[in-house]
């Protein structure tokens, strides 16, 4: 987690590459603040949802996507357990309010780091310039150390 344009996506991309090379299967849950839809009016899948189907899966020979209503407000952990069981590691980007351990990525924002605003659950910092006195801090290019921290703290093998 981190402020907008802090480098979260780039860090996650690099971690995905690192973990893939290590043989781990990675999944990502990305929280969006705004409404989104991969379905579009007039398309069959959209019409099925409009007709009342709470879940529609769109498939082709290469990919599939599940479009489902989150009426029960399932947490990212519940969603991961239900739909991402084949993954060795699920990285959740966003969902700042969920009570999970968090790694804050700190970039060049004018706003103070989230750790300074009282954000709970932060267990490490990734930044080229910010250092916290009581948390592990990693340079953003030290992917091996960040990955090792994630494995030691979060993955049960």
Q: Please name each of the domains of the chain with its CATH number.
A: 8-33+74-154 (3.40.50.300)
8 Å CB contact between 79 and 29: yes
Q: Which two tokens stand for residue 10?
A: 């780039």
List the one residue out of 77, 74, 96 whose CA is nearest residue 85.
77
What's the mean pLDDT in 80-93? 92
pLDDT in tens, 111-148: 899 999 888 899 999 999 999 999 999 999 999 999 99
Q: Indicate the pTM of the whole model.
A: 0.86
70 or 59, higher pLDDT? 59
pLDDT in tens, 99-114: 889 999 999 888 899 9
120 Cβ contact list (under 8 Å, min separation 6): 99
């Amino acid at each position: 987690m981190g402020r907008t344009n802090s480098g979260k996506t780039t860090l996650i991309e690099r971690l995905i590459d690192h973990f893939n090379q290590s043989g781990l299967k990675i999944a990502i849950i990305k929280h969006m603040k705004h409404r989104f839809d991969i379905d579009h009016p007039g398309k069959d899948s959209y019409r099925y949802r409009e007709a009342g189907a709470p879940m529609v899966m769109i498939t082709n020979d290469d990919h599939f996507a599940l479009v489902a209503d989150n009426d029960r407000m399932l947490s990212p952990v519940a969603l991961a357990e239900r739909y991402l069981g084949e993954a060795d590691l699920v990285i959740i980007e966003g969902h700042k309010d969920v009570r999970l351990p968090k790694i804050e990525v700190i970039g060049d924002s004018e706003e103070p780091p989230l750790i300074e605003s009282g954000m709970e659950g932060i267990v490490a910092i990734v930044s080229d310039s910010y250092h916290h006195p009581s948390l592990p801090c990693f340079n953003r290019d030290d992917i091996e150390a960040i990955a090792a921290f994630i494995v030691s703290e979060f993955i049960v093998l």
